């Protein structure tokens, strides 16, 4: 089939183009298209190396190590690395399992089922997961992390989450965790629905958008005390440190790459070379998709990051001129400009995913997203300070509580208007 496609393609190019240069350009594009098909097909072929898909419908007793564990509203999702392949386990919310835990599980192996219109089977396949177990018997058999550095980072993250829970009540703590590293799945479903109705649920997803907003805030703060070049360098360093703090998970790494590009995009726009930013973004996306072509089709975090960063590259600097009436203090003007620019570009994605988008969505985003960097920084310093003093941590986290309360009020108010 591939050979037939190549022959037909070459014939069509020859018939439709007579100019030599035009023919070569079209030929290069066509060859890239074919190579993309080959890369995508090759990645899908990873299922051959997985053995769990050969046991659909069977009850297995299998051992493995926890790669990740994510808490949902009434359950947990665990990714287990086994000798037969990676396995998604849906378990009860408690007890909690962490990276490096050795588990013995017994249950029925099944093919991942679609969730509404969402093709979860293909979504999991991008991470080489082709089978799942729903509420199996689980026994912890020890703790042996394969990567000591990741174990330390994840351990710090877990202690940090505990500290944040001591400083903030619910749902504030869970929303803060959602903004810090996308862990908002266990928050109140009614509140999550209000965020979804107002088109602001994306702030609870770890994406280049969130991290770029933090970078913009850091840039605005450092610009007051440091020369421009050092301010940009420290903002990027802050993004890198944040990525390490989240455990350097693949989603965080991809989001941080997009965030760094977003900062370069803003700098390019201010240096009167805005064409460089989209080109840089396309190269980054190309390399990431070359590494894992499933990102382009099935990774919503990647899609959201790409479109938001493209919006920053093309529109943020222009909106800064329009929003001259807003103060630059603490990055208010920059955050509002970035929020609106990104929102315009992510709106088509939200609609295509079936999310209801409110008429008030652009306004709510400007009002809500501007508080995100303040919440993230206050929450971070508050959680970190608990290692020294509980009272100091509570004091530093107080602004996060105030701004999250403000966000909840704004989101609920505008959600009630629909």
Which pLDDT tens digit goes with each residue over 377-396?
Answer: 788 788 878 878 888 888 88
- Report CA-CA distances (Å) from 40 to 44, 126, 294, 297, 319: 6, 10, 7, 10, 38
Which residues make beta-bridge pairs with 347? Answer: none
Phi-psi region of 125 (alpha: psi -120 to 50; beta: other; left: phi over 0): alpha
Kindly give the pairing relationship between strand 129-134 and strand 137-143: unpaired
| pLDDT over 60 (residue 1) | no
pLDDT tens, residue by residue, 351-367: 776 666 667 777 887 78
Distance CA 74, CA 80 (A): 20
What was the pLDDT predicted at 2? 45
Give 257 or 210, the one with higher predicted confidence: 257
pLDDT tens, residue by residue, 33-44: 777 777 766 666
What was the pLDDT predicted at 156? 77
Distance CA 383, CA 183 (A): 15
| pLDDT over 60 (residue 226) | yes
| pLDDT over 60 (residue 9) | no
Distance CA 414, CA 399 (A): 23
Nearest alpha carbon to residue 414 among 195, 205, 201? 195
pLDDT > 90 in the chain, percent = 2
325's CB contacts (< 8 A; 6+ apart) are none
Distance CA 2, CA 42 (A): 13
Between CA 415 and CA 79, with CA 116 as vertex, the angle to 5 degrees is 100
Distance CA 319, CA 322 (A): 5
| pLDDT over 70 (residue 207) | no
Nearest alpha carbon to residue 103 among 74, 130, 76, 73? 76
pLDDT, average across residues 149-168? 78
pLDDT tens, residue by residue, 315-336: 777 777 777 777 666 666 766 7
pLDDT tens, residue by residue, 55-99: 888 888 999 898 888 777 677 888 888 888 888 988 887 788 888
Distance CA 346, CA 304 (A): 6
| pLDDT over 70 (residue 241) | yes
- Structure confidence at residue 307 as a pLDDT band (50, 70, 90): confident
Distance CA 344, CA 340 (A): 6
Between CA 258 and CA 263, with CA 261 as vertex, the angle to 5 degrees is 115
pTM higher than 0.75: no
What was the pLDDT predicted at 406? 92
376's CB contacts (< 8 A; 6+ apart) are 176, 179, 180, 210, 214
| pLDDT over 50 (residue 52) | yes
- Structure confidence at residue 371 as a pLDDT band (50, 70, 90): confident
Per-chain mean pLDDT for the chain:
75
**Which CATH architecture fits 52-143?**
Beta Barrel (2.40)
Backbone angles phi, psi at 99, to 5 degrees: -55, 130
- Across 177-263, the runs of DSSP E, i.e. the strands, are none
């Amino acid at each position: 089939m591939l050979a037939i496609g190549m022959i037909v393609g070459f014939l069509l190019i020859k018939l439709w183009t007579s100019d030599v240069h035009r023919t070569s350009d079209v030929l290069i594009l066509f060859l890239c298209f074919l190579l993309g098909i080959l890369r995508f097909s090759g990645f899908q072929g990873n299922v051959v190396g997985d053995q769990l898909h050969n046991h659909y419908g069977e009850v297995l007793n299998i051992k493995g190590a926890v790669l990740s564990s994510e808490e949902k509203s009434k359950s947990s999702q665990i990714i287990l690395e086994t000798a037969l392949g990676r396995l998604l386990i849906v378990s009860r919310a408690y007890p909690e399992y962490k990276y490096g835990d050795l588990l013995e599980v017994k249950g029925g192996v099944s093919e991942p089922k679609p969730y509404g219109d969402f093709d979860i089977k293909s979504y999991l396949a991008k991470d080489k997961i082709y089978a799942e177990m729903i509420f199996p018997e689980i026994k912890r058999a020890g703790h042996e992390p394969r990567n000591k550095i990741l174990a330390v980072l994840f351990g710090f993250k877990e202690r940090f989450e505990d500290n944040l829970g001591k400083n903030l009540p619910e749902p504030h703590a869970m929303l803060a965790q959602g903004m810090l590293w996308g862990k908002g799945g266990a928050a109140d479903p009614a509140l999550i629905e209000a965020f979804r109705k107002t088109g602001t649920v994306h702030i609870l997803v770890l994406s280049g958008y969130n991290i770029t907003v933090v970078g913009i805030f850091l840039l605005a703060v450092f610009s007051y005390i440091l020369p421009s070049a050092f301010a940009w360098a420290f903002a990027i360093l802050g993004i890198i440190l944040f990525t390490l703090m989240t455990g350097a998970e693949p989603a965080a790494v991809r989001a941080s790459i997009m965030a760094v590009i977003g900062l370069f995009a803003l700098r390019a726009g201010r240096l009167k070379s805005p064409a460089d930013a989209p080109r840089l973004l396309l190269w980054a996306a190309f390399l990431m998709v070359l590494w894992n072509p499933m990102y382009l089709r099935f990774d919503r975090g990647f899609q959201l990051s790409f479109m938001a960063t493209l919006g920053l590259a093309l529109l943020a600097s222009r909106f800064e001129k329009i929003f001259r009436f807003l103060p630059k203090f603490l990055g208010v003007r920059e955050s509002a400009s970035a929020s609106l620019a990104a929102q315009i570009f992510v709106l088509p994605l939200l609609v295509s995913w079936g999310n209801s988008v409110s008429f008030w969505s652009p306004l709510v985003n400007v009002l809500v997203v501007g508080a995100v960097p303040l919440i993230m920084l206050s929450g971070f310093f508050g959680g970190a300070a608990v290692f020294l003093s509980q009272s100091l941590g509570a004091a530093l986290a107080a602004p996060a509580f105030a701004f999250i309360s403000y966000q909840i009020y704004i989101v609920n108010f505008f959600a009630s208007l629909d």
